[in-house]
Amino acid sequence: MAQLVTVAQTGLVAVVTIANPPVNASTQAVRVQLLSTLRQLEQGSDIRAVVIRCAGRTFMAGADITEFDLPELPEPHPNEIHAYLDSMSKPVVAAMHGTTLGAGLELALSCHYRVADAGARFGLPEVKLGVIPGAGGTQRLPRLVGLLTAVQMISGGEMVPASQALESGLIDAVFEDDLAGSALQYALELAGTETGPRVLSHRTFSADEAQRIFAKQHLEQLPPPDRGGHARRHAVEATIQAGQLPFQEALEEERRRFLLCRDTDESKALRHAFFAERAAARIPNMPANASLRPIQSVGIIGAGTMGTGIAMSFANAGLPVILQDLSEETLTRAGGLIRSTYETAVKKQRMSAAEADRRIALIHTTNDDLQLAGCDLIIEAVFEDFDIKKAIFRRLGEIARPGAILASNTSSLDVNVLASCSGRAADVLGMHFFSPAHIMRLLEVVRCDTTAPDVLATIMQLAKRINKVAAVSGVCFGFIGNRMLEGYLRETEFLLMEGATPSFIDQALEGWGMAMGPCRMIDMAGVDVAAKVVLEQRKAGRLPDDDSYRIVVQRLYERGRFGQKAGHGYYRYEGRQPVEDESALEIFREQGEQYGVRQRRDITAQEVVERCLYPLIAEGYRILEEGIAYRAGDIDVVWLHGYGFPSYRGGPMFYARSVGEHTIAAAMERFASARGNRYGYWDIPESLAKALIA
């Protein structure tokens, strides 16, 4: 067994170091070695205090999530270590840096004193994996910070910074530098003054009535168990029991709830999403030591909403940006949007005024594209006009410095063509950001046939640097997300023509878990934007020979119903509030009659969900068959981070396996026979159809 826990003695203090890269996860080997080390130190006559610290980038960041799939957690359970810490006669100090999370924070709570460096953050994020703290967190945390703070931390799963942790009593001291030396000094003083342990589990605890009432209100406001609230509800219920049950009994109840949650579909989906996001960053057959191109400066062509949002994404990561546009008016508007965005962040105390000023100062605007010539990465973010984009890539091929990476933010156009226009195709790829680009984390990285491996690797690494979740897509219309969206929107419009209303469709899909239904989504993104994409597809001959295909969005567009920004689209808007609009329903009726909807009928929410989601999922199978996506998990990452797919369902491809591929294929067969399949809308991809034979 590798040596993961070592000890160094300084005077009367023993410093225990855990070294289990990359995040010092609490594996069985770590637990075995840590427990035996603590037992030895307790016996040591020349030791009066202990410090537990971690090597590398962070204090223990949690249990090893891969152990969740084991039938039983390999001994010793973290609770055994924590019970031993409770029994020790010598004070133990946790010295924390990085992100102390989950079992790492539970270990620290079982220590007797807690110190940290100024940049440290703390959390119990277990609910984000569909479980609850399973090693005493629900019982020790309230004893330290009170019921309210504990319920908020545990049910939200968010990290708190060292300053807040100090203020709440979670930690005892923050050191600006030299954590190791300061923690040692802290322990030496404990030893020197013969200060004994402070054992949280021995602390009697009873929250006052007001705190209990708050906790119960918090519980009632959580989503239902089958809509992402299962683990959160158990986490809060376990926390509320702190002080109401004898400590050991409460630990057993916590463990019971943890095991209950661990085996749910919600938890399996969330754990899948966690690892899928990290796997998506890995490019198959890419040598681990692939050289990356340096990216120290970024140029963006096009200062519209997308270009401005992209500029802020880079400024947020500390990278200087030159934002270029031919129109001075556009540049002025962009400058205003940048300033107002950061002013709002300061007002909401998301960042200091100084930090906002730093980021604003990183973005320079210009109308002269030659100023981009020295940039390491240049992103084209003009509107979706292919001829203009081609001209820009020809220009970039002339002015950009050798070795610069050239990217297009296009949401659907053929990046291979842009690459060839540039005259340096190996340097070109797509970077499809999602609006608002400085907030949405998804980045579809589109690899052209000619993109050089180091260019792809560089951009995948850069994505992490700008806090984006990247997934690689091959070149096809709509890449991964928008291509799968087609069937979803097609069926939405057919359902409208058959008698469903926008609110019925949206509520059916939002009730199923989507963050926003299709009609509200298009109204918000712009009916005109959606209609232009359909018209562009029809012009390029990419649509089925079916005049009724997405005819509704075209009719709304023709009538100036551009969506929320125009006050009406699929809905009428009172402020930002969507309201059913008789004149829109009339358009749906007209189109239904014109395209042969003999009689409008009552449609169930289940039919809406199946009619919209199954073609979306089927397209995902085709995307995998064609090699457009490397893995099914990459497709899930796209939908979880770019389209509001419910995380507790794991993404469309994970959901397909959990609901059963046979169920989906059989439903598609039913729709094909009930509705006809003249245009292949209900064709079942081969890799999905095999479920029918199995």
Residue of 18, 50, 63, 301 that binds ligand T1G (CB under 6 A): 63
Q: Which is nearer to ligand T1G, 129 or 147 (CB)?
A: 129
CA angle (537, 542, 543) in 5-degree steps = 85
Greatest CA separation found in the chain?
92
Shortest gap between Cβ of 23 and ligand T1G (angstroms)?
Answer: 4
Judge whether 504 and 608 are in contact, CB under 8 Å. yes
Residue of 35, 61, 470, 624 that binds ligand T1G (CB under 6 A): 61
Residue of 19, 65, 245, 535 that binds ligand T1G (CB under 6 A): 65
What is the distance between the terminal CA atoms of the chain, rounded to a whole angstrom? 43
Shortest gap between Cβ of 123 and ligand T1G (angstroms)?
Answer: 8
Shortest gap between Cβ of 673 and ligand T1G (angstroms)?
Answer: 45
Q: State the virtual CA torsion across 559, 562, 564, 565 in degrees, nearest 10.
A: -120
334 φ/ψ angles, rounded to the nearest 5 degrees: -60, -45
- The yes or no reply on residue 564 touching ligand T1G (CB under 6 A) is no
Which residues belong to the active site?
106, 126
Residue of 33, 115, 125, 306 that binds ligand T1G (CB under 6 A): 125
Which amino acid is located at 128 in the chain?
Answer: K
Shortest gap between Cβ of 63 and ligand T1G (angstroms)?
Answer: 4
Shortest gap between Cβ of 65 and ligand T1G (angstroms)?
Answer: 4
Shortest gap between Cβ of 4 and ligand T1G (angstroms)?
Answer: 14
- The yes or no reply on residue 30 touching ligand T1G (CB under 6 A) is no
Shortest gap between Cβ of 322 and ligand T1G (angstroms)?
Answer: 28
Shortest gap between Cβ of 176 and ligand T1G (angstroms)?
Answer: 22
* Only segment of 59-67, 356-364, 407-415, 512-520 that touches ligand T1G (CB under 6 A): 59-67
Give the span between the Cα atoms of 313 and 104, in whole angstroms: 31
Shortest gap between Cβ of 571 and ligand T1G (angstroms)?
Answer: 39
Binding-site size for ligand T1G (CB under 6 A) equals 24
222 φ/ψ angles, rounded to the nearest 5 degrees: -70, 155
Residue of 34, 51, 54, 62 that binds ligand T1G (CB under 6 A): 62
Q: Please, is 235 exposed, middle or buried when counting C-beta atoms within 10 Å of its C-beta (0-12, 13-18, 19+)? A: buried
Judge whether 25 and 66 are in contact, CB under 8 Å. no
- The yes or no reply on residue 66 touching ligand T1G (CB under 6 A) is yes
Give the span between the Cα atoms of 605 and 420, in whole angstroms: 47
Helices (H), 70-208: 78-87, 103-110, 137-145, 147-156, 162-168, 179-192
* Only segment of 102-110, 383-391, 453-461, 545-553 that touches ligand T1G (CB under 6 A): 102-110
Residue of 5, 103, 379, 556 that binds ligand T1G (CB under 6 A): 103
Q: Which is nearer to ligand T1G, 71 or 541 (CB)?
A: 71
Residue of 23, 93, 235, 238 that binds ligand T1G (CB under 6 A): 23
Q: List all residues 6 or more positions away from 313 whose beta carbon is below 8 Å from its beta carbon.
A: 433, 437, 438, 466, 467, 468
- The yes or no reply on residue 129 touching ligand T1G (CB under 6 A) is yes
* Binding flags for ligand T1G, 133-172, as an x/- string (CB under 6 A): xxx-x-----------------------------------
Is the Cα torsion angle 315, 317, 318, 319 positive or negative in sign? negative
Give the span between the Cα atoms of 196 and 108, in whole angstroms: 16
Q: Quick one: tokens of 220? A: 């009632």
- The yes or no reply on residue 107 touching ligand T1G (CB under 6 A) is no
Contacts of ligand T1G in 329-388 (CB under 6 A): none
Give the span between the Cα atoms of 612 and 487, in whole angstroms: 7
Shortest gap between Cβ of 133 and ligand T1G (angstroms)?
Answer: 4
Contacts of ligand T1G in 269-288 (CB under 6 A): 278
Give the span between the Cα atoms of 181 and 179, in whole angstroms: 6
Q: Is the peptide bond before 76 cis (omega within 30 degrees of 0)?
A: yes
Strand partners, 429: 407
Q: Which is nearer to ligand T1G, 134 or 633 (CB)?
A: 134
Q: Please, is 450 exposed, middle or buried when counting C-beta atoms within 10 Å of its C-beta (0-12, 13-18, 19+)? A: middle
Q: Which is nearer to ligand T1G, 62 or 430 (CB)?
A: 62
Pairs from 583-592 (Cβ < 8 Å, separation ≥ 24) = 584/502, 584/556, 585/501, 587/552, 587/555, 587/556, 587/559, 588/496, 588/497, 588/552, 589/497, 590/555, 591/496, 591/497, 591/548, 591/551, 591/552, 591/555, 592/496, 592/497, 592/498, 592/499
Q: Which is nearer to ligand T1G, 87 or 467 (CB)?
A: 467
* Binding flags for ligand T1G, 75-94, as an x/- string (CB under 6 A): ---x----------------
* Only segment of 45-53, 129-137, 371-379, 403-411 that touches ligand T1G (CB under 6 A): 129-137
* Only segment of 45-53, 56-64, 82-90, 549-557 that touches ligand T1G (CB under 6 A): 56-64
* Only segment of 60-68, 170-178, 310-318, 491-499 that touches ligand T1G (CB under 6 A): 60-68
Is the Cα torsion angle 431, 435, 441, 444 positive or negative in sign? negative
CA angle (443, 21, 92) in 5-degree steps = 125
Residue of 51, 106, 154, 668 that binds ligand T1G (CB under 6 A): 106
Query: Residues interacting with ligand T1G, by CB under 6 A?
Result: 22-23, 25, 61-66, 78, 99, 101-103, 106, 125-126, 129, 131, 133-135, 137, 278
